[in-house]
Amino acid sequence: MKQLIACIILGTCVLTVPSFADSWALPSTTEHLSENQQYKLTVVPRDLKRFSDYLNEHFDASKPVSKEQRDAIAPPPMATLQKLTPSQEPEIIWEARLVNDVSPVSVLVPNNGKYVVTFDNWHSVGRGDNVIVIYGAEGKLIRNFALTDLISKRHFRQLPKSVSSTRWAGTHKFSDDGEFVLIEIVDSKSLFSGLTSSKSKTYITKRIRLRDGKVKG
C-alpha cells in the first residue's frame, strides 16, 4: 500500500520486484515422455564437476572463458529422441547437440514426435536467448526465443525474479492439432493487483507455430 501511495503522489511509478535468493543442484540426465508415451527425449547435460567452476567460468571477469574453451573442458548438452514400442527395442530418431549452455530446465515432446520444445536454461530460468527453443527433424534448430521476443522489456522487468532467474512461466502445452505450442507467460497486471500465488496469477498465452517458429498471437 505504501508503494501505491508513493506512486500516486509522484505521478509515476516503476514496479520494483524483489529478488529472491536461490540455489541449484548440479544438473543430471533427464528423460521426457510425450503424453502418449510413444516418444522419449533423453537430455545429457554439460558435465559440471563443481558448482563453483560454473560460477568462475561465467562470472569471474578476471578469468574470461569462451564457449569454445568450455566445450573443450566438458562437451555441451546432448539430446536423443527415441520412438518407444511395446515389443521392440527403442528406435533412435535423432541425436543432436542442444543450444543451451548446460541444460534446459523442462521439455515438451508432442505425440507425433515431429518436434521437441525446450524451456529455460539451468541456473538461468527466463534469461538469455534460449528460454524457448524448437527443434525439428534430425534435431535441427527451428527457432530460439528470448522472453523479450514475446513480451515487452517493460513487462519482462516487472516479472518476479531471483538472483539467477526470472519467474515467468505458467503451464505450456501443444495445440490439439499438434501444430502449435501454447506458451503461458505471467501477466504483469496480476502482479500490480497483488495476485502473487500461483493459483491467483493470470497469464497471457502466445501461440508459436512449430514448423517455422512464427508467433501467431
Classify residue 132: in a domain, yes or no: yes
pLDDT in tens, 153-194: 999 999 999 888 999 999 999 999 999 999 999 998 876 545
> Do the domain assignments include residue 216?
no
Structural domain total, the chain: 1
Rounded mean pLDDT of the chain?
Answer: 83
Q: Is the dihedral of CA 109, 161, 78, 133 positive or negative?
A: positive
Asked if the structure places residue 95 within a domain, the reply is yes
If one compares 196 and 52, the residue with the highest pLDDT of the two is: 52
Tell me the C-alpha to C-alpha distance, in Å, between residue 139 and each of 6, 93, 212.
Answer: 52, 9, 14
Task: Classify residue 217: in a domain, yes or no.
Answer: no
Q: Torsion-angle region of residue 3: left (phi > 0), alpha (psi -120 to 50) or beta? A: alpha
Q: Where are any strands of DSSP class E within the chain?
A: 19-20, 30-33, 39-44, 78-83, 91-97, 106-108, 116-119, 132-135, 141-145, 161-162, 173-174, 180-186, 203-209
Structural domain boundaries, residue 46: 2-209
Amino acid at 133: V
pLDDT at 3: 39
- Rounded to two decimals, the pTM is 0.81
91: left (phi over 0), alpha (psi -120 to 50) or beta: beta
What integer pLDDT is reported at residue 14 of this predicted model? 35
Which band of pLDDT confidence, cut at 50, 70 and 90, is reported for residue 86? confident
Locate 174 and state its grid cell.
Answer: 501443444
More confidently predicted of 66 and 1: 66
- Model confidence over 103-138: pLDDT tens digits? 999 999 999 999 999 999 998 999 999 999 999 999
In the chain, the percentage of residues whose pLDDT exceeds 70 is 76
Residue 215 lies in a domain: no
> Among 173, 170, 168, 207, which residue's Cα sits nearest to residue 188?
168
User: Does residue 186 belong to any structural domain of this protein?
Assistant: yes
pLDDT (tens digit per residue) in 31-53: 999 999 999 999 999 988 766 66
Per-residue model confidence (pLDDT) at position 2: 39
Q: Provide the pLDDT confidence category of residue 13 given band limits of 50, 70 and 90.
A: very low
- 83 domain residue, yes or no: yes
Between CA 130 and CA 119 the distance in angstroms is 7
Confidence category of residue 8, pLDDT binned at 50, 70, 90? very low
SS3 50: coil
Q: What is the mean pLDDT of residues 58-71?
A: 62
pLDDT given at position 45: 95
CA-wise closest residue to 201 among 185, 214, 212, 217: 185
The closest alpha carbon to 24, from 61, 60, 56, 55, belongs to 55
